């Protein structure tokens, strides 16, 4: 029975390592996506000759949502594997190996915590960038609308302001 339990533990560790590797790759891609979102927005702000980003914002938003769901699912699976590992360490008859197992389990929990923290940090940074850009975009649009408003109205406003200044003097 001890051999079977040992195989069970090794299978759990293998699953945990596989999920951790998948998560690592997904988090790197997720971070790159979030970075490219902000840099494509920045590129459009300064130079009007290249206003088309590599990916449209709606495409990036869909990719962001898809990747977020995938990462959340992987985090949930890894949490489940860690929970099974914790159950295994508390089963009777495993106490002789408990110190080594507990150390391994703690290491896997730390990795899960780090990945969870990194995911939430990247996601919140992306949301803040997107919110800021949406806000600035609407302000820019309002400014452009105001500037491109009929020249007659702008000229009238200038004349009224000049006349008002003359009357005040």
CB 82 within 8 A of CB 108: yes
Phi, psi dihedrals of residue 94, rounded to the nearest 5°? -105, -5
- pLDDT reported for residue 4: 61
Indicate the pLDDT class of residue 58, thresholds 50, 70 and 90.
Answer: confident
Distance CA 78, CA 72 (A): 10
Mean pLDDT lowest for which of 31-35, 145-149, 151-155?
151-155
- pLDDT reported for residue 51: 46
Q: Which residues contact 101 (CB under 8 A, 6 or more apart)?
A: 9, 85, 88, 89, 94
pLDDT in tens, 80-128: 999 999 998 888 776 666 788 889 999 999 999 999 999 999 999 999 9
Indicate the pLDDT class of residue 45, thresholds 50, 70 and 90.
Answer: very low
- pLDDT reported for residue 100: 84
Distance CA 106, CA 86 (A): 9
What percent of the chain lies above the pLDDT cut of 70? 78
- Which stretches of the chain are DSSP H helices? 2-46, 57-89, 98-147, 151-168
Indicate the pLDDT class of residue 39, thresholds 50, 70 and 90.
Answer: low
119, with CB counted inside 10 A (0-12, 13-18, 19+), is buried
Tally of CB atoms within 10 A around 15: 17
- pLDDT reported for residue 153: 63
Cα torsion angle, 105, 81, 27, 57, sign:
negative
What's the whole-number mean pLDDT along residues 127-146? 80
Judged against a pLDDT cut of 60, whether residue 19 lies above it is answered with yes
Judged against a pLDDT cut of 80, whether residue 23 lies above it is answered with yes
- pLDDT reported for residue 47: 43
Phi, psi dihedrals of residue 90, rounded to the nearest 5°? -95, 0
Residue that wins the pLDDT comparison between 151 and 129 = 129
């Amino acid at each position: 029975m001890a051999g079977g339990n040992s195989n069970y533990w090794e299978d759990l560790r293998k699953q945990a390592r596989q999920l951790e590797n998948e998560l690592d790759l997904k988090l790197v891609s997720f971070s790159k996506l979030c970075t490219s979102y902000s840099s494509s927005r920045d590129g459009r702000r300064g130079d009007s000759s290249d206003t088309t980003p590599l990916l449209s914002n709606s495409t990036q938003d869909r990719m962001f949502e898809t990747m977020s769901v995938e990462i959340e699912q992987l985090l949930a699976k890894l949490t489940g594997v860690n929970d099974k590992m914790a159950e295994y360490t508390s089963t009777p008859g495993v106490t002789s190996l408990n110190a080594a197992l507990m150390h391994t389990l703690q290491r896997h929990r730390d990795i899960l915590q780090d990945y969870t923290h990194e995911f939430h940090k990247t996601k919140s940074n992306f949301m803040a960038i997107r919110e800021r850009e949406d806000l600035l975009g609407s302000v820019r649009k309002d400014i452009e609308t105001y500037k491109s408003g009929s020249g007659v109205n702008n000229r009238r406003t200038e004349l009224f302001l000049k006349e008002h200044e003359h009357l005040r003097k």
